[in-house]
Amino acid sequence: MFLLQQQKYFRTSLAIIAFLLILYLGSKVMFLFAPLAAIIRLLLVPMVLSGFMYYLLRPLVRVLEKKKLNRAFSILLIYFLFAGLFILFWILVWPTLQEQIQNFIDNTPYLVQGLQDQFNALRDNPTLSRFFQGDSDIAARISEYLSEAITWVTNSMSNLIGVVSSIVILIATLPIILYYMLKDDYKLSPKLQGLIPRKYRKEGKEMFGDIDSALSSFIVTRVVLNVVLGIMLYIGFLIIGLPYSLLLAVISVPLNFIPYVGSFLAGVPVVIVGFIESPTMAIWSLVVIFIAQQIQDNVLSPIIYGKSLDVHPLTTVLLVLIGGDFYGIIGVLIALPVYMIAKIIFLRVYEIIVADREEEAEPLKHENL
């Protein structure tokens, strides 16, 4: 018994030493992996978006397939449907959105001046003036920060032409990658299972099933909830007469994909634009955001979400910060799905290790008896 424990300890120590040695040698030849890293950076965005669209469109493809339509024809039919929706967007929505973007860029200096004027009016108000005592330049500092933020945003909007090449690459590659992912839907999982040793094929199949279910639920529900939230915000902004209502609603949709922090980030520009219009408009903007968020969280989420993601809020915030530090906005968006995949894999591997140890310990118990 003691000898067996020594052998197990010796094997574990050798495995740890070998792993550390591999890491050390790998750090010395990192230059060999530079071309591979460049390829990964080039394909990361198309692959992430393709995976996102794959889970979004797969249920529709399977429904059409049940209607006895050929899978390839079903995918092309969906492509034509999206082309039609894009044309409708270009005709019905884009002119208004483009006008609001252009007006926002042209009116940037007036927006900053309007914010300064609103702060001055609040400071001169007899009721509110005591809040500004001892810190008379707070409005100037906030206006300065806002001016820098708006300048950055307008420069980003003005320099959209500079990223046309990246957009062209994305448009050219995404439909092709997505087509083959949807076409080979049922072949992907068996191929991945083939990489697992035969002894653990059953556990591997269950693991891939859990990952697939988690990603599908997360992506589809997030899209539905955030699109509905964007529509509710746009309707609310129109009702209260908020300037740039369509632009602010469109900006809110992708920002709300960021867990927890996204709703706050989406609300900041809305409240600022509302405050420039008037303090009352800022309050009504907050009311619209609060009502829309409450409807999403307390009415729609319990209906649409099949099950909880079982991720602690603190863990989510840390994941968002780490993802943003590693790969910017793409890292923020994929941090939670990557964590979900890693968690499922870790739990499955842990279960296998525990089961193997129990199997090894069983003969020893019988020998001792």
More confident residue, 326 or 344: 344
**112 touches 276 (CB < 8 A):** no
Amino acid 84 reads G
pLDDT tens-place string over residues 156-191: 554 444 444 556 666 777 888 888 888 887 777 777
| Confidence band of 62 (pLDDT split at 50, 70, 90) | confident
pLDDT recorded at residue 5: 58
Better pLDDT: 1 or 259 = 259
Element (H, E) at 194: none
Flag whether pLDDT at 236 surpasses 90.
Answer: yes
For residue 220, pLDDT over 80 is answered with yes
Band (pLDDT 50/70/90 cuts) for residue 308 is very low
Residue 367 scores a pLDDT above 70: no
**What is the three-class DSSP state of 134?**
coil
What is the rounded average pLDDT of the residues 30-55?
75
pLDDT tops 90 at residue 234: yes
- Per the model's pLDDT, the better-predicted residue between 262 and 361 turns out to be 262
Q: Which residues contact 363 (CB under 8 A, 6 or more apart)?
A: none
Rounded CA separation 140/116 (Å): 7
Looking at per-residue confidence, does 26 or 332 come out higher? 332
The amino acid occupying position 351 is: E
When pLDDT is cut at 50, 70 and 90, the band that residue 271 belongs to is confident
Residue 139 has pLDDT above 60, yes or no: no
Of the listed ranges 34-48, 220-234, 295-309, the one predicted with least confidence? 295-309
Q: How far apart are CA 285 and CA 272, in angstroms?
A: 9
Instruction: Answer whether 57's CB lies under 8 Å from 185's CB.
Output: no
pLDDT at residue 321 in the model: 80
Q: For residue 363, name the pLDDT band (cuts at 50, 70, 90).
A: low
Q: Look at the pTM and tell me if it is higher than 0.75.
A: no
Please report the beta strands in 124-169, taking only residues with DSSP state E, as ranges in sequence order.
none
Distance of CA 335 to the CA centre of its chain: 7
